[in-house]
Amino acid sequence: MQKQAYDEISKEQVKNWDKKYLWHPFTQMKDFAREEPLIIVDGEGVILRDINGKKYIDGISSMWCNIHGHRRKEIDDAIKGQLDKVAHTTLLGMSNIPSAKLAKRLVEITPDGLNKIFYSDNGSNAIEIAIKMAFQYWQYKGHKKKINYVSLQYGYHGDSLGAVGVSGIDIFHAVFKPLLLKTFISPSPYCYRCPEDKDKATCSLECLGKLEEILSKNSDTIAAMVIEPLVQGAGGMIVHPQGFLSGVKDLCEKYNILLIADEVMVGFGRTGKMFACSHEDVAPDILAISKGLNGGYMPLAATLATDEIYNAFLGKHSEQKTFFHGHTYTGNPLACAAALANIDIFENKKVIEGLDPKIEALQERLEQFRDLKSVGNARQCGLIAGIELVRNKETKEPYSWEEKIGIKVSYEARQRGLIIRPLGNVMVVMPPLSIEISELNNMMDILYESIESVTETS
Ligand SMILES: *Cc1c(COP(=O)(O)O)cnc(C)c1O
């Protein structure tokens, strides 16, 4: 890391420029402009350092994408090496070495049957592509009425209009309603607030019954089901009960509907396996990946499809059967080189094999959080956790939106050297997989103290 933080003059300048010119994503700029901005200068491993020289643990993996830590030499070198060859060339009608190599690697490491890769540059696009692919597939197969989708309540699949159309988080999406696709929303298996009022002992996955009702009535108009396997991320780190995903897969097969697995967040080891689908031996028809794909270095995404889907697009020139999609930076060689280095680290350092002790450590630490007065539920899947804060533990009464409880806890944590970002009243824990157990303990200490100080002293 650089020894010095920014000098005083440039420091003030940068803060002013940020406030004056930058429009931040998902941010109320009126509030933001009043606060001292957090501006990162550099980082190493799980630590980020701001413009004032203060250090923080990156508890959100820089928005859920960093995997092996910052300034990871192998990935740095891979990008530098490719930069000495060529930074970008197009995949439209031609190819480049890193994108072809990466395509082969991805087919090898993803669930069986996904043999074709379509690149793009972010998770929303990976889903947009999946949705268009599914639609076009059915058109070519002669099922012209299959134009709708099914997804889960609280699902999040990105911000482009197609992706918003299959998402189920009202607060983000209500405003765009008039512009969106027709989507059937099935209940989320959100066990802490079970839609069927069951608990672990009485649950027999009734929520799958609701999905079956939708499918049995509408399967002739439904192209695909879109799902975040195992954990619904932006919806509040909702961890699904075992058997839900495979149940969904069975229903999709029964009703002749494609399954689109959105592993944009859960892919690349977050759940303890390379891909979440593998926990239940599910092979989707289409898989979307992005965030962890190149270790959190550069914008890159991929949509993988089966031969069955790919083959439906083959035909004579005169048939004009083409997948009508593509971006300027599709298959960018720098991003693909970084992704190859990312996968190499997984293999060379046996990253997945080394996760168990970390996952257990997180589990132990979460146990202690459950004693806090305001912690209604602390749920975990792999190295992902969601800690849901409630006003009343008995009744599960949530804190009201106006109380900004998640934001207050995050702000407190930031003062104490931890970057986290809440989802409403849910505190999200998602460190890089490379976090050491001692760092994980530091992170959980800070989070515990921050929750305690915000919710028990006011
Ligand atoms: C983040 C996310 C997306 C969208 O990815 P972007 O790169 O932000 O467009 C889609 N699906 C899931 C599950 C995500 O977590």
For residue 26, the CA-to-ligand 1 centroid distance in Å is 13
Residue closest to 282 by CA, chosen among 247, 233, 309, 236? 247
pLDDT given for residue 458 in this prediction: 54
Q: Is the pLDDT of residue 7 over 90?
A: no
Q: What is the per-residue pLDDT across 296-315, written as a single tens digit (0 to 9) for each? A: 999 999 999 999 999 999 99
* Amino acid making up residue 229: P
Average of per-residue pLDDT values in the chain: 95
Q: Is the pLDDT of residue 339 over 70?
A: yes
pLDDT given for residue 112 in this prediction: 96
pLDDT given for residue 342 in this prediction: 98
pLDDT given for residue 400 in this prediction: 96
pLDDT given for residue 200 in this prediction: 86
What CATH topology corresponds to 76-348? Aspartate Aminotransferase; domain 2 (3.40.640)
CA distance to 12, 55, 162, 170, 271, per residue, from 183 (Å) = 48, 44, 10, 13, 28
Give the pLDDT band of residue 28 (cuts 50, 70, 90): confident
Give the pLDDT band of residue 31 (cuts 50, 70, 90): confident
Using the atom order of ligand 1, give the atom closest to the CA of residue 163. Answer: 10
Q: What are the strands of the beta sheet with 47-50, ordered from one edge?
A: 40-44, 47-50, 55-58, 418-419
For residue 301, the CA-to-ligand 1 centroid distance in Å is 10
For residue 157, the CA-to-ligand 1 centroid distance in Å is 6
Mutate to test the pocket of ligand 1, among 127, 128, 290 (most ligand atoms within 8 A of CB): 290
Give the pLDDT band of residue 133 (cuts 50, 70, 90): very high
Distance CA 362, CA 380 (A): 8
291 is in an annotated binding site: yes
pLDDT given for residue 318 in this prediction: 92
Using the atom order of ligand 1, give the atom closest to the CA of residue 301. Answer: 7
Q: Would you say how long the chain is, in residues?
A: 458
pLDDT given for residue 173 in this prediction: 78
The answer for residues whose C-beta is within 8 angstroms of residue 269's C-beta and 6 or more apart is 67, 292, 346, 351, 352, 355, 382, 383, 433
Which whole number is the average pLDDT over 251-267? Answer: 98
Which whole number is the average pLDDT over 248-265? Answer: 98
**What is the CATH number that goes with domain 38-67+352-455?**
3.90.1150.10
DSSP states along 348-399: HTTTTTT-HHHHHHHHHHHHHHTTSTTEEEEEEETTEEEEEEEEETTTTEEP
Task: For the chain, give every residue range classified as CATH 3.40.640.10.
Answer: 76-348
pLDDT given for residue 4 in this prediction: 57
124 is in an annotated binding site: yes
pLDDT given for residue 5 in this prediction: 58
The share of the chain scoring above pLDDT 90, in percent, equals: 90
Q: What is the per-residue pLDDT across 61-83, written as a single tens digit (0 to 9) for each? A: 999 999 999 999 999 999 999 99
421 is in an annotated binding site: yes
Which whole number is the average pLDDT over 117-146? Answer: 98
Strands in 140-281 per DSSP E: 148-152, 183-186, 222-227, 231-232, 238-239, 258-262
328 is in an annotated binding site: yes
pLDDT given for residue 36 in this prediction: 87
Choice among 4-8, 33-37, 125-129, 130-134 with the minimum mean pLDDT: 4-8
pLDDT given for residue 107 in this prediction: 98
Among protein residues, the one whose CA lies closest to atom 5 of ligand 1? 123
Among protein residues, the one whose CA lies closest to atom 15 of ligand 1? 265
Using the atom order of ligand 1, give the atom closest to the CA of residue 265. Answer: 15
Q: What is the chain's percent helix, strand, coil content, to nearest 5?
A: 40, 20, 40
Element (H, E) at 339: helix 333-348
Mutate to test the pocket of ligand 1, among 262, 291, 293, 430 (most ligand atoms within 8 A of CB): 291
Q: Is the pLDDT of residue 6 over 90?
A: no
Give the pLDDT band of residue 433 (cuts 50, 70, 90): very high
pLDDT given for residue 3 in this prediction: 52
For residue 136, the CA-to-ligand 1 centroid distance in Å is 23
Distance CA 261, CA 64 (A): 17
455 is in an annotated binding site: no
Q: Which residues approach ligand 1 with their CB closer than 6 A?
A: 122-124, 127, 156-158, 228, 233-234, 262, 264-265, 290-291
Q: Look at 200 and 71; give whichever has higher pLDDT.
A: 71
Task: For the chain, give every residue range classified as CATH 3.90.1150.10.
Answer: 38-67+352-455
pLDDT given for residue 88 in this prediction: 98
Q: What is the per-residue pLDDT across 389-401, written as a single tens digit (0 to 9) for each? A: 999 999 999 999 9
For residue 449, the CA-to-ligand 1 centroid distance in Å is 30
